Structure 1
Amino acid sequence: MELIPFKRPTDHYEEKIGGIDEQICELIRKRKDISNNNPGYPPFEYISKWAEKFNLYENQLKSVFSSLWNESSYKPVVEPDGFRKNLQILKITEKDDSLFYVTFIRQYSNASLINFNIDRNDISDSSNCKSKHSSFELFIGEEYNCRMKSGCGSGEHYCYNFVVSPALPDDVSGIDLTFIEYEIPLMEKKKVDEIIIHL
């Protein structure tokens, strides 16, 4: 997801609270470390209790914790730049009568673009015109930042493009692409499946 550039809402800043704001940043970092960067979301009862205890607005706290929960959407966006070459891949995995495959990887100087396709065997289901859309995340390793750039499809065929930065090596032999499927809507981020394509 690409975010709209954030514009500072006011020129005013009370310098007396600079130390407190720094402590807030320190606590956010500590929270990430203690939770192994998987904090979840506090129960609403906790938020209600904290709002009352500290004389804050519940909806404001819900928004703060939602922002912390969805941290990955704030990662800097890398746009592929400096096209170098196409790597022909065509690796296919079959699961539950569906085909999952990577046809090519576009190599750029600063990133790679992975083309991921799905062909579902839903011809016998005449009601399938409503389309089964999911959300996918790609995991390659801790050293790579992966984000979905685009996706489309309906019925039996879907196609997704993922930007990976930094760029993958030109020899991708032995790399595992793990595509994690989530139900839409993503509020609870319910994992549906995991597809591994070994290059």
Structure 2
Amino acid sequence: MGWAEFGRVKNEYNETFKAIDEKLLELIQERKAKTKGKRFFPPMELMEEWAKKYDMDVPEIGWFFNSLDDRSYPFIPDEPGEIRNVLPIMRKSTVDDFDYMLTHAMQHDHCSVVTLEISYKNQDENIGHLIPRLMLAVDGPVDYHVKRHGSRGGGGNTQMSFLVSPALPDHLDQINFALFPYFMPMENPPKEVVLDKEVFFPKG
């Protein structure tokens, strides 16, 4: 079966969108040229102002500007490799009614896997399921590349993990950590499987 047998995907692209897209590309290239490989990220107050002005979510704006970071990053493999040791971090911050704790990093051959624990301070109150739209930022003597590595949890608690490359040093006195709003608008939502059938267990 040749490629010619497939029909063209319907696409209503036109001159209006071409003009907008060319302007976007021009501005992105101009921004990349002026950053000269350094990170330039708008402050939270400005992102909140833009979110109201342009009817967007702050995490979506955070994702956009993070994606414009033009620094040369090392490749982060999907598999971190063999584990070498566990590095305690134990840095805690409280914002509003939530505690954020960077507990530890699993030190692997290729990178570090950093764990973040988020908990609601009032454990007696049911607040539903937490949806963390956050990304970890790591600042130190070298450029660190970070990507999300999964999340899980329920109730007022959740756990996130991040791949950090290169691996963190054994001593963290020169390393700063922060969280910023991040949500990829094209990100596929997690698949949900509803289990609602009767289940009978056989006798031993």
TM value normalised by structure 1: 0.53
Q: CA–CA distance in 2 between the matches of 1:172 and 1:98? A: 24
Unaligned runs of 5+ in 1: 1-8, 11-26, 39-66, 189-199
2:54 — aligned with what?
A: none
d(CA) in 2 for partners of 1:165, 1:178: 16
Identity percentage over the alignment? 19
Equivalences for residues 128-167 of structure 1 within 5 A:
128-129=127-128, 131-141=129-139, 143-167=143-167
Deviation of 1:80 after TM superposition, in Å, equals 0.9
Kept after mapping to 2: 8 A contact 1:122/1:155? no
Kindly provide the amino acid, as one letter, of the partner of residue 112 in structure 2. Answer: S
CA distance in 2, matches of 1:29, 1:121: 41
Which is richer in helix? 1
Counterpart AA for 2:147 = R
Matches of residues 19-168 of structure 1 in structure 2 within 5 Å? 30-31=29-30, 33-34=32-33, 36=35, 76-78=75-77, 79-123=79-123, 125-126=125-126, 128-129=127-128, 131-141=129-139, 143-168=143-168
| Whole-Å separation in 2 of the counterparts to 1:70 and 1:140 | 16
In structure 2, do the counterparts of structure 1 residues 133 and 29 end up closer, same or farther at CA, with 3 Å as the change threshold?
Answer: closer
Q: Check conservation: 2:87, 2:170, Cα contact below 8 A.
A: yes
Contact 1:110/1:166 (<8 A) preserved: yes
TM-superposed CA distance for 1:30, in Å, is 3.5
Distance change in 2, residues 1:133/1:122 (3 Å):
farther
Cα offset for 1:95? 2.2
Higher-strand-fraction structure: 1
**Partner Cα separation in structure 2 for residue 29 and residue 110 of structure 1:** 31
One-letter amino acid matched to 1:106: M
CA shift digits 1:33-63 (9 cap, x unpaired)? 247488xxxxxxxxxxxxxxxxxxxxxxxxx
**In the alignment, which residue of structure 2 is the partner of 1:173?**
173
Asked if the contact 2:114–2:163 (Cα under 8 Å) also holds between the matched residues in 1, the reply is yes
Summarize the Cα distance change of 1:165–1:99 in structure 2 as closer, same or farther, 3 Å threshold: same
Q: Kindly state the Cα deviation for residue 125 of structure 1 after the two structures are TM-superposed.
A: 4.7
Cα separation, partners in 2 of 1:109 and 1:28, compared to 1, 3 Å: farther
Specify every segment of 5 or more residues in structure 2 that has no aligned partner in the other structure, as ranges. 5-25, 41-63, 187-204
Q: 1:144 to 1:31 in 2, by over 3 A?
A: same
Question: Are the structure 2 counterparts of residues 168 and 70 from structure 1 closer, same or farther at C-alpha, using a change threshold of 3 Å?
Answer: closer
1:32 is displaced (CA, Å) by 5.1
Question: Aligned AA for 2:32?
Answer: D
Structure 1 counterpart of 2:193: none
In angstroms, what is the RMSD of aligned CA positions? 3.7
AA partner of residue 100 (structure 2)? F
**Post-superposition CA distance 1:74-103 (Å, at most 9, x none):** x85423113211012222222223211011
Q: String of CA shifts for 1:152-182, please: whole Å, max 9, x gaps.
A: 1222101001000011111112311111134
Opposite residue 131 of structure 2, the aligned amino acid is H
